[in-house]
Structure 1
Amino acid sequence: MNQMNQIHMSNALKPWALVTGAGGFIGHHLVSYLKAEGYRVRGVDIKMPEYGRTDADEFLLLDLRELKNCQACTAGMDLVYHLAADMGGIGYITASHAGIAHNNSLMNLYMLEAARGHDVGRFLFSSSACVYPHGLQTSPDVTPLREEDAFPAEPEEGYGLEKLYAEKLCQYYMEDYGLRTRVVRFHNVYGPLGTYDGGREKAPAAMCRKVACAHSPGTIEVWGDGKQSRSFMYIDDCVEGIHRIMQSDYENPLNLGTDELVNIDELADIVIAASGKTITLVHDLTKPQGVRGRNSDNTRLRTVLHWEPKLALRQGIVPTYHWIASQTAHAAPGAMVAAE
């Protein structure tokens, strides 16, 4: 057997993994991670990755709000990582309830049905900590949220509600049709190669952009009083966790995040320290700030995976800040500082 045939056979033995949302932040990184792990990867999105070239073996530009497109991209796949979603930062998700619920519900329904029709081996759904009840998130000193706390339900309007509904759909497709589903609840992912402006960016990226574009000494605007608290997970930990959850035998939703709780003022201070600038915070109490406190309880994650995200925020912010600073270097100081 010649070398070319040996290579062909080796490739043929590797399982195919589909990553939806492969043009987005987490999906782009997950494609690279799976390729490094030896998978053949098909990426699909309505757009190509904005920052950097995809490592996918195949990349399909498809609108997953149409069933035929979901059927096309799932054909021949062994694993489906369904990350595609209409989403953004707190400003976007609080102003777009109807559009988010409509778009994501169509994608989730059609992707599950297409995966079932093609007898996909496993289907992972990317859910969110936004599924948790508001009544458990009224204090910055929040008790870490356990997976079972999602019910009785009072999720984030729009985005959180459709995510919780899709989690139940995964359960029903597993119980009724035998589709092996996995559900991961993300807690605030950040890192390089992600959206950092335009209104869809998350708090760490927005904070990095604001600091990068500010004079030194200078000021930046912080939405809310700065006391609202969150935990933040670096992208490398996120994609490793996704892969571990897909490989596990655990069939119920799992938190994926760190339990390092910081408030937004502390996040700003960490970014400012990474920049080396002298920056003063100015708070805008008229802007949306989300729940008062949200943190991940990783007890079950540690039990199931014998692993949890490990990179501290102070470490992960450094490469994140410097990447965003390099992207905004052409902007005038003080520009691009409005969106959170």
Structure 2
Amino acid sequence: MKRVLITGAAGFLGSHLCDRFITEGFYVIGMDNYITGDKKNISHLFDNPNFQFVEHDVTEFVKIDGDLEYILHFASPASPIDYLKIPIQTLKVGALGTHNLLGLAKVKKARILIASTSEVYGDPLIHPQSEDYYGNVNAIGPRGVYDEAKRFQEAITMAYHRFHGLETRIVRIFNTYGPRMRLNDGRVIPAFMGQALRGEDLTVFGDGKQTRSFCYVDDQVEGIYRLLMSDYVYPINIGNPHEISIRDFAKEIIKLTGTKQNVVYKGLPIDDPMQRQPDITLAKKILNWKPKVNRDKGLKITFEYFKTLSKEELYKSEHKNFESHIKK
């Protein structure tokens, strides 16, 4: 049985990846320090004989006994609320954590896939964003702790590939959604759905003309799996190219949830990108991948998941620190 290490295993994407690799017949070692992950996301796996959990911070030395064929590095805060609240940890997991895991991959002769992000493009000056675009990033702005952590992560990964001959893969993840997202983590879909469930008006930052493209988690996991198993070493965008403005998306959520809320507008967060849409030409050509789940279906599944959350989870507020970074 082949063995895979998945860091960030208790997070949104990490937990779905654990499920996928167990389904594919792997022995999965999940690693997380629960700084943003949640034990309930992987609790259904604790009795599975093909799953092992290790509570550990990857910014410290990582030791795994036995063979490893694959490593997937998904340990990182990924929402604005998280990386604005814990900026130093965000930088450390992108730098020290990635260095530790690349070193482990070298020792184990394992193939490693690094989770990068569309945020490496910053507030883009080209649209849609293709992998050969270098980006427009403010390194010293509030979001720079996340953007630059990921850009460094890509750079050191390619250095290990070129200098040590390490088998590396890099996925640039665009907005992804689905069950197990934290309801109040500052991202668009859980924020809107949480407000709808609480009977609050939906908050749109700026004038709402900024765009996003949302990929359902099953499609994202499929793309990641295909990339890991491919021979392609350079970054690949995985996301849904169907673009929508935030203003129109808020109206879509109100219609989906059957609520009567209004849309209210607040100042735009600093360095918030105005456009976000992946060019997935490479993913189609190299991985034979494109998203299959349409937004209507994915949003219905996600909303049904959020409806099962407890009142404590529904009313937990995490927005105070995030709103301190909004332009007045």
| Normalised-by-shorter TM-score class | 0.7 to 0.9
Select which of 229, 232, 252 maps to 2:211: 229
Offset from partner CA, 1:271-309 (integer Å, 9 cap, x none): 222211122101112655711111100111101011212
C-alpha distance in 2 between matches for 1:289 and 1:264: 16
C-alpha distance in 2 between matches for 1:50 and 1:102: 25
SS of the residue 2:204 aligns to: strand
Taking only the aligned residue pairs, the percentage that are identical comes to: 26
Question: TM-score, length-normalised on structure 1?
Answer: 0.84
- After TM superposition, list the pairs within 5 Å mapping 1:63-212 onto structure 2: 63-67=57-61, 70=62, 72-73=63-64, 75-89=66-80, 91-94=81-84, 96-120=86-110, 122-136=111-125, 143-150=127-134, 157-197=144-184, 200-212=185-197
Offset from partner CA, 1:147-198 (integer Å, 9 cap, x none): 010268767512111111111111111111111000000001110112112x
C-alpha distance in 2 between matches for 1:337 and 1:65: 28
When residues 163 and 74 of structure 1 are mapped into structure 2, their CA distance, relative to the original with a 3 A threshold, is: farther
When residues 74 and 27 of structure 1 are mapped into structure 2, their CA distance, relative to the original with a 3 A threshold, is: farther
State the shift of 1:266 in Å. 2.1
Please list every run of 5 or more consecutive structure 2 residues that lacks an aligned counterpart in the other structure: 323-328
C-alpha distance in 2 between matches for 1:282 and 1:299: 36
Select which of 242, 255, 266 maps to 1:273: 255
Select which of 30, 39, 48 maps to 1:49: 39
| Matched residues, number | 310
SS of the residue 1:28 aligns to: helix
C-alpha distance in 2 between matches for 1:54 and 1:164: 34
Contact 1:130 1:160 (C-alpha < 8 Å) held by counterparts: yes
When residues 338 and 108 of structure 1 are mapped into structure 2, their CA distance, relative to the original with a 3 A threshold, is: closer
SS of the residue 1:318 aligns to: helix
Question: TM-score, length-normalised on structure 2?
Answer: 0.87
C-alpha distance in 2 between matches for 1:113 and 1:252: 19
Amino acid at match of 2:20: Y
Name which of structure 1's ranges 106-115 and 179-188 shifts more when overlaid on structure 2.
106-115
For 1:285, the equivalent position in structure 2 comes to 267
State the shift of 1:64 in Å. 0.9
For 2:243, the equivalent position in structure 1 comes to 261
RMSD (Å) for aligned C-alpha atoms? 2.3
Contact 1:223 1:283 (C-alpha < 8 Å) held by counterparts: yes
SS of the residue 1:183 aligns to: strand
Select which of 314, 326, 331 maps to 2:308: 326
Name which of structure 1's ranges 183-192 and 40-49 shifts more when overlaid on structure 2.
40-49
SS of the residue 2:132 aligns to: helix
Q: Based on CA coordinates, which of the two structures has the bigger radius of gyration?
A: 1
